[in-house]
Amino acid sequence: MTEEERNAHLAHILGISAETLSRLHHSGLKEVTDSELQVYKYYIEFGSDSAPDILDIINADEQRRVYFPASVWENEKEH
């Protein structure tokens, strides 16, 4: 998967366009692992300068993060 495809996929999961995602400062996709280092969810963290209206659309939490299960990333990237 190219970086462009990865960003488009992430934008789709977040419910925004790839163009909107490209306008936001973010951490990129981060993994959350269990004690056996198996990825069970991912998150993306957005910068403090991100537009509040977009953060509302993507349901970011108070730390400007959005979490989703690893299965969402894995299942959708196959399409």
b/e sequence 43-56, b meaning 16+ C-beta within 10 Å: bbbbeeebeeebbe
Query: Under a CB-based contact definition with an 8 Å cutoff, are residues 8 and 15 in contact?
Result: no
As for how many domains the chain has, the answer is: 1
Tens-digit pLDDT profile for residues 29-64: 999 999 999 999 999 999 999 999 999 999 999 999
Tens-digit pLDDT profile for residues 3-17: 899 899 999 999 999
What range does the domain containing 25 cover? Answer: 3-77
